[in-house]
Amino acid sequence: MSFIIPFCDEAACLPTLLKSLSTFIREFERARPIRADVIFVDDGSRDGSRDVLCAAVRAQEPRFDVRVIRLSRNFGKEAALTTGLNAATADAVVLMDADLQHPLELVDRFLDGWLHEGFDVVYGYKDTVADEGWMRRLARRWYYHTINARSEPEIPPNAGDFRLLTRRAYEALRMLPERERLMKGLYSWIGFTQKGIPFRPKERAGGKTKFSAVKLAVLAIDGITSFSILPLRLATWVGLVLALVSGGYGVWTIFEKYFLGIAVPGYPTLITTIAFIGAAQLIFLGIIGEYLGKVLIEVKGRPVAIVESDERLVDAHMQVQGALPGSGSRVETFSRPVVER
């Protein structure tokens, strides 16, 4: 089993994360006949996160494989997750964040869902959003209602990337060619048997979140336009409604003029109508532009991410044999560029 952990500028969290993983994997391997390793994906960190991780590995000397894949720049979390999945070879993978808000003890329940119940995907979802402000809760509810209105199958609300995927599940994800990826949607789209487990996120181990309200709004728009055509359908329906309203208003104006003798003032009505229709046109032109932009990205066929280096900081098998000098660390760097599609 492999843990896949993307990170960006998480220097404050990584030593604590590595220590927690060492404790968990040691106890985990004693209780189950399963070997675990960890694949870190550095999504273009600028705060020295990779160096901090390497130093923590040298200091703690974990007894499991540690691999660090560094991307050539920040490509985003979806690209980092895709890179980690492309690198995996285990029978199952567990995706989690580097800030330790995802509780490691839930992984045991993920494994029970896989080994004893036969699920291919076992995911965690927040059991409550009461700790969030009302505006954020309203936005979250609107987002899932919008994205699930025309998508099949439904994306589970409040579920993130914290989940276990069996080999056939993550290999199915590898087959999907799109560059603009909404991983939450793709997890559901591949199908297979899936199970959700509620959990309550912990406090961050350090640092602060990289997702501001503006970034979350942009991600929401990207997600909806990547996985749903509802905005395009909405443009059609709004156009029909405007046509009916304007036609009805025209008929009413004629009725007032010739049957009631009321002269309708033209200037305010004309300006208001033009402004309203112009605003609607600009909004829906923007929506169409979002979809056209995504088509352009797909047509170009650029890779999801470019790997700068792929290093194995610890090879547990070699370490057990005593073949590693000094701290027991071993580094294998690929000097050639590696492209992740």
d(CA 100, CA 209): 12
Tell me, yes or no, whether 194 and 147 share the same domain: yes
Residue 156 DSSP code: P
Domain-located, residue 184 = yes
Assess whether 284 and 319 both reside in one domain: no
Q: Is 126 in the same domain as 262?
A: no
C-alpha span between 154 and 276 (Å, rounded): 34
**Helix/strand/coil for 325:** coil
Report how far residue 18's alpha carbon sits from residue 28's, in angstroms, rounded to the nearest whole number.
15
Q: Are residues 60 and 186 in the same domain?
A: yes
Which range has the worst mean pLDDT, 47-61, 82-96, 281-295?
281-295
The average pLDDT across 71-78 equals: 87
Report d(CA 120, CA 122) in Å as an integer.
7
- 116 in a domain, yes or no? yes
- Of the candidates 4, 19, 6, 61, which has an alpha carbon nearest to the alpha carbon of residue 205? 19
Do residues 204 and 244 both lie within one domain?
no
If asked whether residues 292 and 328 sit together in one domain, one would say: no
Same domain, 278 and 331: no
Least confident stretch, 101-115, 166-180, 241-255: 241-255
Q: Which domain holds residue 251?
A: 230-300
Higher pLDDT, 110 or 259: 110
Sequence-ordered list of residues with C-beta below 8 angstroms from that of 25, at least 6 positions apart, any chain: 36, 38, 62, 63, 64
Tell whether 272 and 128 lie within a shared domain.
no
CATH code for the domain in which residue 169 is found: 3.90.550.10
* Half-sphere exposure of residue 265: CA atoms within 13 angstroms, side-chain side: 5
Q: How many domains does the chain have?
A: 2
The answer to whether position 221 is within a domain reads: no
Strands 121-126 and 194-199: parallel
Q: Do 7 and 82 sit in the same domain of this protein?
A: yes
Position 320 scores a pLDDT of: 37
Tell whether 222 is covered by a domain.
no
Give the C-alpha separation, 284 to 280, whole Å: 6
The per-residue pLDDT for range 271-300, each reduced to its tens digit, is 667 777 777 777 778 777 777 877 777 777
Do 294 and 324 belong to one domain?
no
Q: Which amino acid is at 181?
A: R
Strands 92-95 and 66-71: unpaired
Computed from CA positions of residues 230, 236, 237, 238, in that sequence, does the dihedral angle turn out positive or negative?
A: positive
- 23 domain-assigned: yes
pLDDT at 39: 92
Residue 270, domain member (yes or no): yes
Does residue 22 lie within any of the structural domains? yes
Q: Is residue 225, in this structure, part of any structural domain at all? A: no
Q: Going by DSSP bridges, is the β-strand pair 92-95/159-166 parallel, antiparallel, or unpaired?
A: antiparallel
pTM score: 0.71
Task: Tell me how far apart the terminal alpha carbons of the chain are, to the nearest angstrom.
Answer: 23
Q: Do 294 and 307 sit in the same domain of this protein?
A: no
- 129 lies in the same domain as 252: no
Q: What's the 3-state SS for 61-123?
A: CCCCCEEEEEECCCCCHHHHHHHHHHHCCCCEEEECCCCCCCCCCHHHHHHHHHHCCCCCEEE
Q: Is the pLDDT of residue 179 over 70?
A: yes
How far apart are alpha carbons 81 and 190 in whole angstroms? Answer: 16
- The pLDDT of residue 89 is above 70: yes
Question: What pLDDT score was predicted for residue 268?
Answer: 63
